[in-house]
Structure 1
Amino acid sequence: MATPDLADAALLAAVADAGGFRAAAERRGASASSISDAVRRLEEACGVRLLNRTTRSVTPTEAGARLLARLRPALAEIEDAFDALGGDEETPTGTLRLNVPTIVARRVLPPIATEFLRRHPGVRMEVVAEDSFVDVLAAGFDAGVRYEERVELDMIAIPIGPRRQRFAAAAAPSYLEARGRPEHPRDVAAHARIGHRFARSGLLPAWEFARGAEVVKVPVEGPLVASALELEIAAAVAGLGLIYTFEDALSDEIAKGALVPVLEEWWLSFTGPLLYYQSRRHMPSPLRAFVDFVKGL
């Protein structure tokens, strides 16, 4: 078996990212035939087909997708190492555009952004906070923050902020006095529920509770469904029903006693947010500085 060539592996990733040989060739300033030859050499060296080729599309095979998932972080680190040569004296300047969920903008990003901007006065940061799932690159952003299940497969993703988070269920004392306290997630079906609908997709997720191997899902039905977390929390504090959302979003009201936690042993735990961006040979200096800063946290 021939030894796979790292340069050929980088061209495989370029084809997968561009969606075809011609588009990859335009981005790389090379010929489509030379890139096709490189991918063919890599497939021969690996002894497995890595790309499905049709007249309309070029997509990774199952083996190719597994290989790319392992290759992309390594290729990004190699690019970072070369780009860092001679870059110690460079002061990053320009605008960094980020798209983040509202909970991240409220609870995760503030201390990170302020310290980063303090260290890099030449950088201007623009942040759009929304809970719809947009194509950040197509929308003109340099990077985005999302949770694991919402990160595109062809992106590089690194943790930002807490490594684990939880959803928390709570209600106002007045509501619990009037309606009683749920002792099991199945009891939630008999209670008023304040739901969150994602504005762009219209998705209204069911509430998911977990304890050990047992998982209970409860559909959302109640007096209020909104796409604004502040409105949902205010409704819960007013005693309109149970709320189930990010623990960080409810912590202030719980600390004040305006909301009372319920079903704590069933709160769903999940991986914290990820900063994600496209691996590019010439990454803008504000984005590169921000990625390096987040990696060092």
Structure 2
Amino acid sequence: MNDLPLADLDAFSAVARERSFRAAAKKRGVSASSLSEALRRLEAKLDVRLLNRTTRSVTPTEAGMRLLERLQPALGEIAGALDQVNELRDSPAGTLKLNVPSVVACEILPSIVGRFLRANPAVSLEVTAEDGFVDVLAAGFDAGIRYEERVERDMIAIPIGPRQQRYVTAASPAYLARHGVPHHPHDLLEHACIRHRFASGVGLGWEFGDGEAAITITPPAIVTANAVDLEIAAAIEGLGIIRTFEEFLAPHLTSGRLVTILDPWVTTFSGPFLYYASRRHMPAPLRAFVDFLKAEQRSRLP
């Protein structure tokens, strides 16, 4: 059994963790058929079935679960050993895998990615944008970016991007001309609103704060979506009132296609954080990214 290919064991581990050939293939940047072939070779070598496959699901067999439990620490040790060797290179190499909210992918990372990759030409970047909270390590990511209230307490967190952001409420001039201008958050209960729903199906209430009081309402929705571009387009078309990150609306506020309302009730909050697990051997691409962010922070100090 000593001639089992490490790549096939790694492929099995990826599929077993994801419970899906397609999801594992997407994260690894390979075809599902190549993972299926690796599994076929591994099962043939071991002469035991490791995964139960149906048209709807992939689940480890008892033998597969036992192998996975022993395999994951070993693969982690191998990755750590390779990262230690990587640290001895003149420049780090490898892939940095990040899980980030959509607002970070659209509005914050673009100004950072170019500078980081030019400074680290042997590093490549994989970014998955999703607004739900995930266990970044279990999902195969090196690190995540989230806002402070969503960062797990046992993680290391460092600031990334602007240190203050705002949630604003806006509508088109045409909508306000037809329906009037709300002056208090409770007025929104009489208006058509455009609400965001996360991919998980969760739709949060709208929270407002004026520095002294906080109000949460669930306004009636004429449009509900998990696509910010569609939500903004609906607001520009005059279908209703939108509330979202100021960065998303900035160009449309500048052009006058949208105008802010309820300005005394703008919500201000701290910017996002890069977070990652505390461990002795950090992957070289992640170490390079952390060092890059810290250097940028120092350069902005007076």
Same fold at TM > 0.5: yes
What does 1:136-285 align with in structure 2 at a 5 Å threshold? 136-200=136-200, 202-285=201-284
Please give the alpha-carbon distance, in whole angstroms, between the structure 1 residues aligned to 2:250 and 2:145: 22
Please give the alpha-carbon distance, in whole angstroms, between the structure 2 residues aligned to 1:148 and 1:257: 32
TM-score by length of 1: 0.70
What CA deviation, in whole Å up to 9, does each residue of 1:60-105 have, x standing for no partner?
xxxxxxxxxxxxxxxxxxxxxxx99x96863100000001111001
Name the Cα RMSD after superposition: 2.1
**Aligned letter for 1:125?**
L
Q: Secondary structure in 2 aligned to 1:139?
A: coil
Match of residue 98 from structure 1: 98
Identical aligned residues as a percent: 55
Match of residue 75 from structure 1: none
**Aligned letter for 1:224?**
V
TM-score by length of 2: 0.68
Match of residue 23 from structure 2: none
Match of residue 292 from structure 2: 293
Please give the alpha-carbon distance, in whole angstroms, between the structure 1 residues aligned to 2:143 and 2:197: 24
Q: How far apart are residue 153 of structure 1 and its match? A: 1.6
Assess if the C-alpha contact under 8 Å between 1:193 and 1:221 holds in 2: yes
Assess if the C-alpha contact under 8 Å between 1:205 and 1:220 holds in 2: no
Q: How far apart are residue 280 of structure 1 and its match? A: 1.4
Assess if the C-alpha contact under 8 Å between 2:196 and 2:226 holds in 1: yes
What CA deviation, in whole Å up to 9, does each residue of 1:187-206 have, x standing for no partner?
11111111011112x22111
**Aligned letter for 1:251?**
A
**Aligned letter for 1:239?**
G
Match of residue 115 from structure 1: 115
Q: How far apart are residue 156 of structure 1 and its match? A: 0.5
Please give the alpha-carbon distance, in whole angstroms, between the structure 1 residues aligned to 2:142 and 2:190: 45
Q: Secondary structure in 1 aligned to 2:208?
A: strand
**Aligned letter for 1:131?**
D
Q: How far apart are residue 164 of structure 1 and its match? A: 0.8
Q: Secondary structure in 1 aligned to 2:125?
A: strand
Please give the alpha-carbon distance, in whole angstroms, between the structure 2 residues aligned to 1:263 and 1:296: 38
* Alpha-carbon distance change, 124 to 89 in structure 1, aligned in 2, over 3 angstroms: closer
**Aligned letter for 2:190?**
A
Q: Secondary structure in 2 aligned to 1:282?
A: coil
Match of residue 124 from structure 1: 124
Please give the alpha-carbon distance, in whole angstroms, between the structure 1 residues aligned to 2:238 and 2:217: 20
Q: How far apart are residue 207 of structure 1 and its match? A: 0.7
Q: Secondary structure in 2 aligned to 1:269?
A: strand
Q: What is the aligned residue count? A: 217
Assess if the C-alpha contact under 8 Å between 1:100 and 1:145 holds in 2: yes
What does 1:41-52 align with in structure 2 at a 5 Å threshold? none
Please give the alpha-carbon distance, in whole angstroms, between the structure 2 residues aligned to 1:216 and 1:204: 16
Q: Give structure 2 stretches of 5+ with no counterpart.
A: 1-68, 74-82, 297-302
Q: Secondary structure in 2 aligned to 1:135?
A: coil
**Aligned letter for 2:178?**
A
Q: Give structure 1 stretches of 5+ with no counterpart.
A: 1-22, 28-82
Q: Secondary structure in 1 aligned to 2:174?
A: helix
Please give the alpha-carbon distance, in whole angstroms, between the structure 2 residues aligned to 1:174 and 1:229: 21
Q: Secondary structure in 2 aligned to 1:296?
A: helix
Which segments of structure 1 move beyond 6 Å, counting only runs of 4 or more? Answer: none
Assess if the C-alpha contact under 8 Å between 1:99 and 1:141 holds in 2: yes
